[in-house]
Structures are given as C-alpha cells and as structure tokens.
C-alpha cells in the first residue's frame, strides 16, 4: 500500500504502466481506478501521449477517495481474445487532508462570542476558508454544541449535509440566531464543529473546531 497526499493530486494523478509489462503492438490497455462499478471509479484506455504508458486520472475521481484505500490496476486486451489479461491490483491510500481551515464567526472577538454584539432577532454568521481538493460536489455539516441552560448537552444544527456552494477562498457556512445562542449557559466554551464529506455522504472528515466562550 502506498500513500498519496491530496496536495499532490490537485491536477489529478498519473497512472504509469511499468516498463517490464509486456504489451504487443495491436493490444489495448485499459487502466482501472478503483473497483469497477463502484462510486468514484474511473476507466480509461487513452494514454496521455499516443503509444505511451502514462494515463491521466482526473482530480474529481481522486478527491472522492480522500482518507480511503483503493485498487489501481490495468488489463491488456489481446485482439481476438475475449478474456483480458489483468494485472495485479496496486493498493493506493489517499491520505487525510492537512491544513484544513478553522471555521470563523463574525461575532467572535478575542476568543469570545458576545450576545451583546448581536442585535435582537439577529444572527452570528459563519465562514469557512478553502481546502485542498475543495469541490461543489462535497457536503458540509456544521453544528454548535455546548451546555444548555438546563445543564444538559445542547446541539444546534447550522448546516446539515449541505452542498459546498462554491469553490472560493472563503465561503459562507451558515448562521446561528441570537435566540438559539441564548439557550446555552454563559461563560462556557461553545464548540462549532465542521464535517465535510468527499464521497457523497458515505464518510465524513472532521475539520478543526472553533471554541469561543459565550458571554453576555
């Protein structure tokens, strides 16, 4: 198993057929990225350079597999032979992201979120910086968690499985009302939690948590 850093796959990846593989003139080579028929798979028989042994896998087929392992293989199709000659599958691990952004709030200053800074009927707004392999086919779930005025855990959903609205240096990431924040105990830390799914909500990657103290 070999690792692939997402930061090295911004432009996609290149699969190279090893030089020791015997391929005769007239035979076709098909590269298979991930299990055939599975979500996030890619299949191509078009090399980057005609007659070459390098095949491009687009970035959208790479980012689906963040924090996953997948098989990469190829098969040789001999003219007049129905059954292809498959290679041994190479297991590739796409690593977790690094340098993920911490969510920001326009009403947080000096590590504190002041209720007084929010007008009655108003909101605290969240934004999120960009990340490696960011895409509009990814999903965001954001919650604000803490201790409620009843001394029980309180979780307020901000975004639930929402599509990333755009690829930009900073994106809007929902909001929470002053009324909802008033349900938390004062002078304790809140946790603004962010999860992102790269694989159509099958798995979720955790981003850094914002932990402001709620004050009056």
Share of the chain above pLDDT 90, in %: 95
The answer, yes or no, to whether residue 2 has pLDDT greater than 90, is no
pLDDT tens digits, one per residue of 17-33: 999 999 998 899 999 99
DSSP 61: H
Q: Which two tokens stand for residue 30?
A: 């098909």
Task: Say what the pTM is.
Answer: 0.89
Instruction: Look at residue 147 in the predicted model and tell me its pLDDT.
Output: 98
Rounded Cα distance, 160 and 200, in Å: 13
Is residue 81 very low, low, confident or very high in pLDDT (cuts 50, 70, 90)? confident
CB 58 within 8 A of CB 12: yes
Of all residues in the chain, what percent carry a pLDDT higher than 70?
Answer: 100
pLDDT in tens, 184-211: 999 999 999 999 999 999 999 999 999 9
Phi, psi (5° rounding) for residue 133? 65, 25
E strand spans, the chain: 2-4, 13-16, 28-33, 42-44, 54-57, 68-77, 85-86, 90-94, 104-105, 108-109, 112-114, 123-129, 139-147, 153-163, 170-177, 191-197, 205-206, 213-215
Give the number of other Cβ atoms within 10 Å of residue 213's Cβ.
Answer: 16
Is the per-residue pLDDT at 140 higher than 80?
yes
What H or E segment, with its residue span, contains residue 63? helix 59-63
C-alpha to C-alpha distance for 47 and 51, rounded to whole angstroms: 7
- Say if residue 1's pLDDT is above 80: no
pLDDT band at 82 (very low <50, low <70, confident <90, very high): confident
Residues 194 and 128: beta-carbon distance below 8 Å: yes
């Amino acid at each position: 198993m070999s690792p692939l850093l997402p930061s090295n796959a911004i432009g996609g990846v290149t699969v190279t057929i090893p030089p020791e593989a015997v391929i005769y003139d007239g035979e076709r080579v098909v590269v298979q990225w991930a299990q055939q028929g599975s979500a996030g798979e890619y299949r191509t028989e078009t090399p980057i350079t005609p007659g070459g042994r390098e095949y491009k896998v687009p970035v959208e087929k790479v980012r689906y597999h963040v924090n996953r392992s997948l098989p990469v293989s190829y098969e040789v199709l001999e003219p007049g032979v129905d059954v292809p000659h498959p290679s041994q599958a190479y297991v590739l691990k796409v690593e977790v992201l690094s340098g993920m952004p911490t969510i920001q709030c326009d009403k947080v200053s000096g590590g504190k979120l002041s209720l007084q800074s929010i007008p009655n009927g108003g909101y605290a707004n969240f934004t999120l910086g960009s990340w490696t392999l960011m895409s509009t086919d990814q999903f965001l779930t954001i919650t604000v968690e803490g201790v409620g005025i009843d001394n029980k855990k309180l979780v307020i959903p901000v975004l639930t499985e929402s599509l990333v609205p755009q690829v930009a240096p900073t994106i809007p990431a929902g909001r929470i009302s002053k009324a909802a924040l008033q349900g938390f105990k004062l002078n304790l830390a809140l946790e603004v939690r962010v999860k992102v799914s790269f694989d159509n909500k099958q798995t979720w990657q955790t981003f850094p948590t914002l932990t402001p103290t709620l004050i009056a």
